[in-house]
Structure formats: structure tokens, C-alpha cells
């Protein structure tokens, strides 16, 4: 018996058998529903946009820096 066969037998004896190989349910309808649903911005996104807008009003020179980064 080679080392590979011995290792394979040891792994098969220690690891449990897998009952099912596929997902419990079909995931594609969930993906389609997620894509079709309207996108809503989170509070974090709105707050970040507000902070950037306020900073650009206070420091208008930063607009060039922001445009350079985009």
C-alpha cells in the first residue's frame, strides 16, 4: 500500500459522508428577485454624500482633489 492510498483511506475513515451534494433549494429565483427589486440607498451612503457636500462647500479647493481622485 502506497502512502497516497494510506492517506486516502485515513481521510475517508475520519471525514463523514456528505448526505446531499446540491443546494436545498434553487437559488436563481432569489437572485432574479434581488436584481428586479428597486435599489434603495442606505443611511450610510446618504450620510457620506452629505458630509462630502458640506466639506466641498466649506473647502471649495478640495473639489479639484476630489475630481482628480475620480
What element of type H or E holds 28?
Answer: helix 28-36
The Cα 23–Cα 27 span in angstroms is 8
Q: Which residues of 8-17 are buried (b: 16+ CB within 10 A; e: fewer)?
A: eeeeeeeeee
**CA pair distance 34, 27, nearest whole angstrom:** 11
pTM exceeds 0.85, yes or no? no
Q: What is the pLDDT of residues 6-61, one digit of tens each?
A: 998 888 888 887 777 777 788 899 999 999 988 888 999 999 999 999 999 999 99
**C-alpha angle 42-47-49 in degrees, rounded to nearest 5:** 100
- Please report the pLDDT score of residue 1 as a whole number: 66
Amino acid at each position: 500500500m502506497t502512502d497516497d492510498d494510506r492517506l486516502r483511506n485515513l481521510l475517508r475513515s475520519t471525514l463523514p459522508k456528505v448526505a446531499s451534494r446540491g443546494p436545498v433549494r434553487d437559488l436563481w429565483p432569489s437572485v432574479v428577485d434581488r436584481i428586479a427589486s428597486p435599489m434603495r440607498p442606505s443611511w450610510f451612503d446618504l450620510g457620506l454624500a452629505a458630509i462630502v457636500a458640506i466639506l466641498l462647500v466649506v473647502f471649495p479647493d478640495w473639489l479639484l482633489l476630489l475630481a482628480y481622485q475620480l
